[in-house]
């Protein structure tokens, strides 16, 4: 069961409102995504200040034998990236919904979150894959 | 027992029993029976009839005995560097190769092994690559080196492409004192990538904020040592990378490109235990600063542990390479020159700290002795000033090509005719393979031209 | 896995080094010493080992014993053509008359070498039916780059600046799209149909004015001869494009068909596959480019010409330029020449006949035990899927690792990418029927083990010098500490005959440890 305090995309990202910062969202990849990727070894993340677009490519994630694109779930500007992932990319394997968050984004429009999948919709989506 | 004379008619007999192919007529029949067919030809039924079984017109096969004779005669029509004094360099060098190099690289376990994609079955190869990476880093004072490229020219060309990726710029500046063949290869690699190639004067290189890298050769093509620090700094002042193609033998005594701050260092490993072999196979050397590691081409061997904690080696950061990234790979390189990376590793291990310094100093002193002697000859001069290592240019009284013909009458292989760069210029190379007698003979022969 | 010798190999060269030991003795200086450059131009420390000659020989010999190789093991790697590498080829290549010549010597001094190259050009032209040959490219991928640059040059010369797309089957080897991208093209993926052929409708949909050409491997990486290949070439030509052939699988076609006859415009060959030159642990190779008369002016320099009795090097009039420093991997070319001279017409045909017979014999014996995604006559290799075994809790990877315990090198795994749990097996013509039968039996036994003792299979290999390696660790841990510390013992003193477990690849990728430094901790 995916956590119900956040929303999801078909590219297996999650996004939630940052309780500590008004207008900011936190985003990451899901448990399903990290399981598909296998042992993650490296992230190429956007820089603070970069603009990101809904379902636009924002970086890459490398596992031992594969590279996958990372897509932003929402529109906005990057305010923070998870620096711990530089030295410990495996955090995303271990705790994709918590310590393994990827970026924080100043959202262009909070209402965008409404259009994304709920946790139940997402669980149904991955069950069908 | 019937003598097995080879089918020398050259036409398709149904059965040709090659000594490389074990299956006999009977064994083929067993396999065909298992498949329920009558002839091997039926397995090729998918080939359109009109194109199947074309006429082939290759020469009749030779037995191994005849191969030795015929190929021996062919080899006899060439004049190898070892058969007399030889003073030719210009990118391929006449250096001593210890006997153990060939003895070890011809071991079947090295010679006939595949690329080490299956780590557990290739620990020998992978540990050798790790050693190669370590020693090349130490030779050049750089932080990371790969498992090798094809040769010095392609290594340098890939370095320019890498500099463009790293800086996200599209112009490369090549010093006009680098090898013309290297310039040609760089142009070929850059032609399809919208990269502008400029040739600049290393005494005053014109660089700007669009330049991805300044490319130098150290020592340069003519053997001379340019002001490395000044050139590296000039590149960095523009936010460009300093890419240096550096002779590994010179590293036995000269200051390293890493010390001067070079960002990418390439070279040709041929001087390190590899024969000249008419231009190949060699091995390209490639080293860089750690921060650029994900933009590096070719394989990397990394040390790790197995599930019991025992040290082992694997190919790592494979996500840079073609078999994973395909069209977004850092390079298309797959097969490189692993056996010759092994040869260079063995050479460096045997020569070691002392041997490399000795070789470098032997080359240096002999070359300077030769240059001094030739410079004294009437009609000859040394037109290029500055320090040099093992190669230098002399200006001759007449065409170096004509001089070389006369030298060969005395079984002396002279230097390269570089008249297009220096009028009647000859690029001479003197190494540890040239005795004082060799050098004196060269000087005496040259003195006959005035 | 052979476990010969008792020389330990865990310690690296710099850890074995003892100050004062000498591995090579050189002659003393016999000319007067010359003024040295300024100190500032001389290097400081040179961190190379100091070892005696016997130590160097023992160390590297010990390392060699940790390798699988054709000489020691059946090595049925699909698409690699791991055939016997004849020793006479090496002997010929090592002769001073070949190994000791300098590429820049005046051509009068290398006529024997040039004659060999010229004749080899002719042989390869005869075999492929494509007469324009450049021997200058140093590996298959290098040849691909050359061929694709030629296609680019051809279109530009015709004023066709819009032909920027190259279509490549989804089953293609990774070098194909990588080479096309390096040559400045955009890659369009072509689907394969259910028979493993190029999907003609998919091809027609991209065969337009922006198509520069296609890259086709024949037989395909699935080991199958595309029954529509002539139509594929026609479609591309009618659209104004050119057909590039990846010749990696030529072992199946020698003497059976000429690529030029089928409509290919340009191809490369892998001499280190089809023509028996040794793989060397990853090279050297040679990837000559063969093309039609029409494309020959664009070939990479140099080529070899003949005028009467004399041979010379020349640059084709519209050459794409040099792709290598000198003339090509001459030492490899000598071996291929010698191989072809040993075989002649009948021998060349015998290679493909036996290679294809052995592959089909093996495929037939394993049908039903392993899933065959394309159940039709194969060429020199057969692609199986380990899907049936995956359902029982194993996988292609595990089976491949378990084969190591049976003394067989694993077949090519997870390639081509369009086959799930792929195992690509290429026996070659130089293996005995006994070996092939033993290999078939091993795969049958492992299939039974998957059912009866899955754990044994999934933790293999058990008998190789290292077990499964931690690849994630090798990539995660970048050791950048430069403080000098005490010299640390690398590993425990286990003898090197101890089986090695599975290696940690994640670790290798997360913290890459790519060179030994004195402070490298174990």
Residue C481 has pLDDT above 70, yes or no: no
Handedness of CA B342, C272, B316, C394 (dihedral sign): negative
**CATH code for the domain in which residue A98 is found:** 2.40.50.100
The answer to whether residue A1 is domain-embedded is no
> Does B180 reach chain C within 8 Å, measured CB to CB?
no
Across the interface, of B259, B279, B368, the residue whose CB is closest to C330 is: B279
Residue A7 has pLDDT above 70, yes or no: yes
Mean pLDDT of A95-118: 93
What's the average pLDDT block by block, 10 residues per block, for chain B (450 residues)?
43 70 96 96 97 96 97 98 97 98 97 89 92 97 96 97 96 98 97 95 95 98 98 98 98 98 98 97 98 93 89 87 79 90 98 97 98 97 96 98 97 97 97 98 94
Residue C491 has pLDDT above 60, yes or no: no
Scanning C67-86 for CB atoms below 8 A from B yields: 67-72, 75, 77, 80, 82-86
ipTM of the complex: 0.96
Percent share of chain C, pLDDT over 70: 91
Expressed as residue numbers, the domain containing A70 is 7-123
Verify whether the Cβ–Cβ distance A67 to B318 is below 8 Å: no
Report chain B residues whose CB lies below 8 A from the CB of A64. 318-319
Identify the contact set of chain A against chain C, taking CB-CB distances under 8 A: 38-42, 62-65, 89-90
Mean pLDDT of C299-319: 96
* 3-state secondary structure at position B77: coil
d(CA C484, CA B367): 38
d(CA C110, CA C99): 11
What subunits touch chain C, counting only 3 or more CB pairs under 8 A? A, B
Identify the contact set of chain C against chain A, taking CB-CB distances under 8 A: 471-472, 475-476, 505-506, 508-510
d(CA C83, CA B291): 41
Structure tokens belonging to residue C252: 């199946």
Structure tokens belonging to residue C289: 């480019």
pLDDT band, residue C488 (cuts 50/70/90)? very low
Radius of gyration of chain C (CA): 26
Interface size, chain A vs chain B, as Cβ–Cβ contacts under 8 Å:
16
* 3-state secondary structure at position C515: coil
> Does B108 reach chain C within 8 Å, measured CB to CB?
yes
Verify whether the Cβ–Cβ distance A90 to C475 is below 8 Å: no
The answer to whether residue A40 is domain-embedded is yes
Scanning B37-56 for CB atoms below 8 A from C yields: 40-41, 43-48, 51-54, 56
pLDDT value at position C472?
59
d(CA C137, CA C144): 9
pLDDT value at position C471?
64
Nearest CA in chain C to B125: C281
Report chain A residues whose CB lies below 8 A from the CB of C509. 39, 41-42, 62-64
Report chain C residues whose CB lies below 8 A from the CB of A34. none
Class of domain B100-345: alpha beta
Question: Based on the structure, what is the number of domains in chain A?
Answer: 1
Nearest CA in chain C to B372: C34
CA distance A60 to chain B (A): 11
- The two counts, helices (H) then strands (E), for chain B are 13, 12
Structure tokens belonging to residue C113: 């070498």
The correct answer on CATH 3.90.1150.10 for the domain covering B84-93+354-448 is yes
Verify whether the Cβ–Cβ distance A65 to B325 is below 8 Å: no
The answer to whether residue A75 is domain-embedded is yes
pLDDT band, residue C142 (cuts 50/70/90)? very high
Structure tokens belonging to residue C308: 């009467």
Residue C6 has pLDDT above 90, yes or no: no
Angle, CA of B181, B186 and B190, to the nearest 5°: 150
pLDDT band, residue C473 (cuts 50/70/90)? low
Query: Do the strands C165-169 and C303-307 form a parallel or antiparallel pair, or are they unpaired?
Result: unpaired
Query: B70-106 burial, b if ≥16 CB within 10 A, otherwise e?
Result: ebeebbebbbbbeeebbbbbbbbbbbbbbebbbebbb
pLDDT value at position B122?
87
For residues A40 and A87, is the Cβ–Cβ distance under 8 A?
Answer: no
- The two counts, helices (H) then strands (E), for chain A are 4, 9
Q: Which are the contacts of B197, defined by CB distance < 8 A and separation ≥ 6?
A: B171, B172, B174, B183, B186, B187, B190
For residues C423 and C373, is the Cβ–Cβ distance under 8 A?
Answer: no
- Distance of alpha carbon C416 from its chain centroid, rounded? 15
pLDDT value at position C484?
22
pLDDT band, residue C474 (cuts 50/70/90)? low
The residue behind tokens 């694993």 is: C410
Q: Which are the contacts of B379, defined by CB distance < 8 A and separation ≥ 6?
A: B396, B397, B449, B450
* 3-state secondary structure at position C383: strand
Verify whether the Cβ–Cβ distance A64 to B294 is below 8 Å: no
CA distance C392 to chain B (A): 24
Report chain C residues whose CB lies below 8 A from the CB of A90. 472, 476, 506, 510
Report chain C residues whose CB lies below 8 A from the CB of A67. none
Verify whether the Cβ–Cβ distance A64 to C476 is below 8 Å: no
How far is it between the farthest Cα atoms of chain C? 78
- Per DSSP, B44 falls in state G
Report chain C residues whose CB lies below 8 A from the CB of B316. 471, 474-475, 505, 508-509, 512, 514
d(CA B143, CA B258): 9
CB neighbours of residue C183 within 10 Å: 25
CB neighbours of residue C33 within 10 Å: 11
What are the residue boundaries of the structural domains of chain B, listed by start? 84-93+354-448, 100-345
- Three-state SS letters, C299-347: CCECEEEEECCEEEEECCCCCCCECCCCCCCHHHHHHHHHHHHHHHHHH
- The two counts, helices (H) then strands (E), for chain C are 17, 14
Ramachandran angles phi, psi of C132, nearest 5°: -80, 120
What subunits touch chain A, counting only 3 or more CB pairs under 8 A? B, C
- Distance of alpha carbon C480 from its chain centroid, rounded? 33
pLDDT value at position B88?
98
Percent share of chain A, pLDDT over 90: 74
Query: B266-275 burial, b if ≥16 CB within 10 A, otherwise e?
Result: bbbbbbbbbb
For residues B419 and B448, is the Cβ–Cβ distance under 8 A?
Answer: no
Across the interface, of C140, C433, C465, the residue whose CB is closest to B23 is: C433
Helix (H) or strand (E) holding C446: helix C433-452
d(CA B176, CA B183): 9
Task: Specify whether the backbone of B228 is left (phi greater than 0), alpha (psi in -120 to 50) or beta.
Answer: alpha
What subunits touch chain B, counting only 3 or more CB pairs under 8 A? A, C
Name the burial class of residue A124, with classes exposed (0-12), middle (13-18) and buried (19+) by CB atoms within 10 angstroms of its CB: exposed
CA distance C264 to chain A (A): 33
Strand partners, B304: B312
Query: Do the strands A51-52 and A76-81 form a parallel or antiparallel pair, or are they unpaired?
Result: antiparallel
Ramachandran angles phi, psi of A83, nearest 5°: -60, -25
Verify whether the Cβ–Cβ distance B324 to A42 is below 8 Å: no
Do domains B84-93+354-448 and B100-345 share one topology? The answer is: no
Model pLDDT for residues C241-273, shown as the tens digit of each residue: 999 999 999 999 999 999 999 999 999 999 999
Scanning C254-273 for CB atoms below 8 A from B yields: 255-258, 261-262, 270, 272
pLDDT value at position C496?
28
For residues C321 and B189, is the Cβ–Cβ distance under 8 A?
Answer: no
Ramachandran angles phi, psi of C227, nearest 5°: -70, -10
Model pLDDT for residues C315-326, shown as the tens digit of each residue: 999 999 999 999
Residue C289 has pLDDT above 60, yes or no: yes
Q: Which are the contacts of C140, defined by CB distance < 8 A and separation ≥ 6?
A: B334, B335, C175, C246, C247, C248, C268, C269, C270, C273, C285, C287
Scanning B232-291 for CB atoms below 8 A from C yields: 251-256, 259, 268, 275-282, 290
Q: Which of A54, B387, B329 is nearest to C174 (CA)?
A: B329
Alpha-carbon dihedral angle through residues C489, C494, C496, C501, given to the nearest 10 degrees: -100
* 3-state secondary structure at position A107: strand
For residues C341 and B62, is the Cβ–Cβ distance under 8 A?
Answer: yes
């Amino acid at each position: 069961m995916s956590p119900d305090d956040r929303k999801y995309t078909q590219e297996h990202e999650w996004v939630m409102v940052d309780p500590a910062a008004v207008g900011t969202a936190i985003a990451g990849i899901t448990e399903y995504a990290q399981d598909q990727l296998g042992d993650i070894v490296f992230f190429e993340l956007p820089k603070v200040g970069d603009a990101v677009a809904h379902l636009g490519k924002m970086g890459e994630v490398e596992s031992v034998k594969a590279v996958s694109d990372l897509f932003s779930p929402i529109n906005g500007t990057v305010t923070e990236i998870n620096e711990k992932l530089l030295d410990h990319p495996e955090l995303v394997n271990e705790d994709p919904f918590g310590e393994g968050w990827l970026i924080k984004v100043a959202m262009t429009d909070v209402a965008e979150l409404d259009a994304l999948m709920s946790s139940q919709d997402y669980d149904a989506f991955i069950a069908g894959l | 027992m019937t003598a097995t004379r080879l089918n020398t008619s050259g036409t398709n007999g149904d059965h040709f029993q090659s000594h490389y192919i074990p299956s006999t007529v009977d064994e083929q029949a067993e396999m065909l029976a298992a498949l329920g067919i009558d002839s091997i030809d039926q397995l090729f039924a998918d080939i359109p009839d009109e194109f199947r079984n074309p006429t082939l017109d290759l020469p009749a096969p030779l037995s191994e005995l005849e191969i030795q004779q015929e190929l021996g005669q062919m080899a006899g029509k060439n004049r190898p560097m070892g058969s007399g004094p030889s003073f030719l360099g210009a990118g391929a060098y006449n250096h001593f190769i210890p006997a153990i190099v060939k003895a070890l690289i011809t071991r079947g376990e090295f010679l006939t092994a595949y690329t080490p994609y299956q780590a557990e079955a290739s620990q020998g190869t992978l540990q050798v690559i790790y050693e190669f990476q370590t020693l090349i880093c130490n030779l050049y004072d750089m932080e990371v080196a790969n498992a090798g490229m094809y040769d010095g020219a392609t290594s340098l060309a890939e370095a320019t492409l890498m500099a463009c990726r790293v800086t996200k710029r599209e112009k490369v500046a090549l010093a006009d004192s680098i090898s013309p063949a290297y310039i040609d290869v760089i142009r070929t690699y850059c032609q399809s990538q919208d990269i502008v190639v400029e040739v600049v004067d290393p005494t005053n290189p014109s660089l700007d904020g669009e330049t991805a890298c300044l490319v130098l050769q150290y020592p340069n093509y003519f053997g001379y040592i340019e002001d490395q620090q000044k050139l590296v700094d000039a590149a960095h002042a523009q936010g460009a990378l300093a890419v240096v193609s550096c002779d590994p033998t010179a590293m036995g005594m000269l200051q390293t490109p890493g010390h001067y701050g070079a960002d990418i260092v390439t070279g040709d490993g041929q001087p390190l235990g590899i024969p000249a072999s008419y231009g190949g196979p060699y091995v390209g050397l490639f080293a860089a600063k750690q921060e650029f590691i994900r933009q590096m081409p070719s394989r990397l061997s990394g040390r790790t542990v197995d599930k019991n904690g025992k040290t082992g080696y694997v190919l790592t950061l494979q996500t840079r390479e073609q078999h994973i990234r395909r069209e977004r790979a850092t390079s298309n390189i797959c097969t490189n020159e692993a056996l010759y990376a092994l040869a260079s590793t063995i050479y460096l291990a045997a020569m070691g700290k002392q041997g490399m310094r000795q070789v470098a100093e032997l080359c240096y002193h002999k070359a300077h002795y030769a240059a001094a002697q030739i410079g004294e000859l009437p009609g000859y001069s040394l037109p290029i000033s500055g320090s040099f290592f093992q190669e230098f240019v002399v200006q001759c009284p007449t065409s170096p090509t004509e001089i070389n013909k006369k030298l060969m009458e005395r079984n002396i292989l002279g230097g390269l005719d570089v008249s297009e760069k220096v009028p009647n210029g000859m690029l001479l190379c003197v190494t540890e393979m040239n005795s004082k007698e060799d050098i004196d003979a060269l000087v005496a022969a040259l003195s006959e031209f005035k | 896995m052979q476990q010969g010798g008792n020389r330990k190999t865990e310690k690296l060269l710099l850890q074995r080094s003892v100050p004062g030991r000498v591995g090579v003795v050189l002659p003393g200086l016999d000319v007067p010493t010359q003024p040295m450059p300024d100190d500032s131009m001389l290097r400081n420390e040179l961190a190379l080992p100091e070892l005696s000659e016997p130590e160097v020989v023992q160390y590297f010999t010990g390392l060699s014993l940790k390798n699988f190789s054709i000489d020691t093991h059946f090595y049925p790697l699909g698409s690699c053509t791991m055939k016997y590498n004849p020793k006479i080829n090496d002997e010929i290549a090592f002769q001073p008359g070949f190994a000791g010549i300098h590429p820049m010597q005046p051509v009068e001094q290398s006529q024997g070498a040039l004659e060999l190259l010229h004749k080899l050009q002719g042989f390869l032209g005869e075999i492929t039916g494509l007469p324009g040959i450049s021997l200058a490219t140093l590996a298959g991928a290098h040849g691909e780059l050359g061929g694709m640059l030629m296609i680019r040059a051809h279109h530009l010369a015709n004023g066709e600046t819009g032909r920027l797309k190259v279509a490549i089957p989804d089953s293609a080897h990774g070098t194909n799209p990588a080479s096309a991208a390096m040559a400045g093209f955009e890659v369009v993926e072509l689907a394969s149909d259910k028979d493993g052929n190029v999907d003609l409708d998919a091809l027609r949909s991209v065969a337009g004015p922006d198509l520069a050409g296609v890259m086709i491997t024949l037989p395909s990486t699935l080991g199958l001869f595309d029954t529509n290949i002539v139509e594929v070439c026609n479609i591309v030509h009618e659209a104004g494009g050119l057909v590039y052939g990846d010749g990696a699988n030529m072992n199946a076609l020698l003497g059976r068909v000429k690529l030029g006859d089928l409509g290919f415009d340009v191809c490369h060959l892998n001499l280190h596959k089809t023509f028996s030159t040794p793989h060397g642990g990853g090279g050297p190779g040679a990837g000559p480019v063969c093309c039609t008369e029409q494309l020959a002016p664009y070939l990479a320099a140099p080529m070899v010409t003949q005028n009467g009795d004399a041979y010379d090097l020349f640059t084709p009039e519209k050459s794409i330029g040099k792709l290598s420093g000198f003339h090509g991997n001459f030492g490899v070319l000598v071996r291929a020449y010698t191989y072809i001279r040993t075989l002649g017409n009948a021998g060349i045909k015998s290679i493909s006949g036996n290679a294809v017979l052995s592959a089909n014999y093996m495929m037939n014996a394993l049908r039903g035990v392993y899933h065959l995604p394309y159940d039709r006559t194969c060429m020199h290799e057969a692609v199986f899927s380990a899907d049936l075994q995956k359902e029982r809790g194993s996988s292609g990877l595990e089976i491949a690792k378990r084969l190591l315990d049976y003394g067989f090198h694993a077949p090519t795994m997870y390639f081509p990418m369009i086959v799930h749990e792929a195992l690509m097996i290429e026996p070659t013509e130089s293996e005995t029927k006994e070996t092939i039968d033993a290999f078939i039996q091993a795969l049958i036994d492992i299939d039974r083990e998957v059912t009866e003792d899955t754990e044994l299979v999934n933790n293999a290999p058990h008998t190789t010098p290292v077990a499964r390696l931690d690849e994630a660790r090798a990539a995660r841990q970048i050791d950048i500490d430069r403080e000098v510390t005490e010299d640390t013992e690398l590993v425990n003193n286990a003898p090197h005959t101890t089986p090695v477990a599975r290696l940690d690849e994640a670790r290798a990728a997360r913290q890459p440890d790519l060179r030994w430094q004195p402070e490298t901790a174990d």
